[in-house]
Amino acid sequence: VGVAYWFLGFRNRGDIIRFMPYPVSGGFLAGLGWLLLKSGFTVSAGKFSLETLFQPELLMFWLPAFLFGLVLFLVQEKIKQTWLTPTLIVLGVAGFYLVMRLPVEELRHAGWLLTLSEPDGLVLFRFPLLEMWNDISWQAILFNVVTAVTLIFTAFISMLLNVNAIEMAVGKDMTPNRELRLAGVANLVAILLGGGIVGYPSAGLTIMAYKRGQPGRLMGLVVSGMFGAALFYGFQYLEYLPKFVIGGLLISLGINFLYEWLIEGFFKFSRTDYLVVLAMFFAVTFFDLLAGVVLGLVLMVIIFVLNYSKTNVIRSVLTGKNFQSNVDRPMKHMEFLRERGEQLLILRLQGYIFFGTAHTIYQYVKDRLEKHEGKPLRFVVIDFTQTYGIDSSAAMIFTKMRRMAEANNISLAF
């Protein structure tokens, strides 16, 4: 994935994201909001399911997280200051210990504090790729090459969606190709230093940081410094944080996304576009994020086809009576053209001709053929000067028109 990221960025393939429809981006962020909300419940209560959500043993854990997240959301909507979130977190942690007044081990045993999987929160700095090079099964890697290709495609789409979401949320342009190259280098460095999952810019974390103030490079340096400290010294200090504080942070951001794209979106999207956002949200809720994006893209393509098919591709309709050449003709010939000119039909087309619009051209000629009013059609000229493309389905429509012309002894000219 690291190599693919760098190569795609080098080849400027990140610009594909510029073709992402706005409702799809909105649906992606709404779905992301649900996943963040769900993650907040999972972190605070240990698991999440609608069937068990209101059981007393779970309710006592997620309810404080939900209330803390709701307070964060409401306060931050009114006061947009960088210092506000850290202050509220400190107050939340301090208030927790003041209210509970129990030893740390008892709180941890009761499930109120974070519990990390590594013993003593220790992370060893090691180079697994070098240490286990001789143990690599190249046959197994080749056997899973299809899975690897699928992963590369999914990672590419996921990264571009996140970059697009960040652009929309913060209102600033990013450079997708540069982000791809940087993510590629970062993934390769991560492999050499210890391995891990695929990494790319996180829309959720970036937007959360941005909405808590106006972050600069300092915030990135502080976050990376904390990771560096954990890499060398372990992360056992995180085990003193109450779960409801971490869960509340995720819930506040989830509420923010849901409010912006499901509630405010109802008033800023057209009804059709809002239904796309809503459909994507439910797809993410019952399936996953990628399924929601695929559904959104399919719906937008269908909507585009339906809307574009309503566009009149016939730019103008002329006949031999009202459109003639600049040749000087005898009065007898001019009189003949005025009398018989309507037997010559000229259709000037425009735009892109595809299956949704080509049928209207065919139907127009067919209607004119049937409603000749004593002046049967003898010539049809189709002018493609102002068109810039045609698909195979539309070409078949014109083939059908040619057969109709031959059957009715009409001369057809393209």
Bridge partners of 351, per DSSP, are 387
3-state secondary structure of 385: strand
pLDDT at residue number 108: 81
pLDDT at residue number 147: 84
Distance CA 161, CA 206 (A): 13
Distance CA 403, CA 407 (A): 6
DSSP for 40-66, please give it: HHHHHHS---TTTTTSHHHHHHHHHHH
Q: How many CB atoms lie within 10 A of CB 147?
A: 9
3-state secondary structure of 380: strand
Contacts of 128 (CB under 8 A, 6+ apart): 194, 195
Which tens digit of pLDDT belongs to each residue from 85-121? Answer: 788 888 888 888 888 888 888 888 888 887 765 554 4
pLDDT at residue number 403: 92
Distance CA 17, CA 15 (A): 5
pLDDT at residue number 283: 92
Q: How large is the C-alpha radius of gyration of the chain?
A: 32
- The answer to whether 65 and 244 have CB atoms below 8 angstroms apart is yes
pLDDT at residue number 231: 73
Closest CA to 118 of 246, 248, 233, 222: 233
Distance CA 382, CA 403 (A): 15
pTM, two decimal places = 0.70
Which tokens belong to 318?
Answer: 């002329």
Contacts of 349 (CB under 8 A, 6+ apart): 313, 314, 315, 361, 382, 383, 384, 386, 387
Closest CA to 320 of 309, 299, 336: 336
Angle between helices 203-211 and 243-258 (to 10 degrees): 90
pLDDT at residue number 121: 46
Bridge partners of 382, per DSSP, are 347
- Residue ranges of the chain whose pLDDT lies below 70: 52, 80-82, 116-128, 212-215, 234, 372-374
